[in-house]
Amino acid sequence: MARIFSLILSALLLLSACAAPPSEPQLGADGKPLPKVYKIRSGETAKIQFRMLDSVNSLRQAAGHPNVELNAALNAAAATHSRDMSIQNRPWHFGSDGSSPIDRVRRVGYPGELVGETISETYETELETLAAWMEDPATRQVILAPDAQDMGFAWLQESNGKIWWTLVMGK
């Protein structure tokens, strides 16, 4: 019995040594690893919005600025624009009907003023997208605007995994 057990154990060890090594990540033309699809499951909206809110507020605190709060109206404006960018298949600040970020904020009934809007077309997570926004002076300025009080954040993910992110700041 012990002999059969040792033979089986030896065979398993031999087979495990033959296992293929982990594959190297595929690299893009820029030499960086190609992105992996970040699939957002249904029911994760609140979790993702609050993770972004916490991250934005951490960055704002580090810069000496007050926290912002999630605002339902600004979330709606952000969701509308993410959907519209997907339909237009281009990331830009104007809607297919010619609307501006100011128009969209007014349409959803936000009582304050628009501070700014940041957008992205990517396959990356919300936190990777936030990191990219923080590297760009214009989008960094929106996120860290000292007078911002409210934040809206939404997205639309296409079936191929592409995500259209929109972050709106208001006061």
| Model confidence pLDDT, tens digit, residues 112-135 | 999 999 999 998 999 999 999 999
Q: What whole-number distance in Å separates Cα of residue 83 and Cα of residue 95?
A: 10
The pTM of the whole model exceeds 0.85: no
Q: What whole-number distance in Å separates Cα of residue 164 and Cα of residue 3?
A: 61
Give 71 or 32, the one with higher predicted confidence: 71
pLDDT at residue 90, rounded to an integer = 84
Q: Is the pLDDT of residue 140 over 60?
A: yes
- Which residues pair with residue 152 across a beta bridge? 168
- Which residues pair with residue 116 across a beta bridge? 169
With contact defined as beta carbons under 8 Å apart, do 123 and 35 qualify?
yes
Q: Is the pLDDT of residue 2 over 60?
A: no
Confidence of residue 33 (pLDDT cuts 50, 70, 90): confident
Give 60 or 45, the one with higher predicted confidence: 60
Q: Spell out the residues 6+ positions from residue 152 whose beta carbon is closer than 8 angstroms to its own.
A: 70, 71, 73, 74, 75, 76, 77, 78, 166, 167, 168, 169, 170
pLDDT at residue 12, rounded to an integer = 47
With contact defined as beta carbons under 8 Å apart, do 126 and 54 qualify?
no
pLDDT at residue 7, rounded to an integer = 46
Tokens of 162: 């592409």
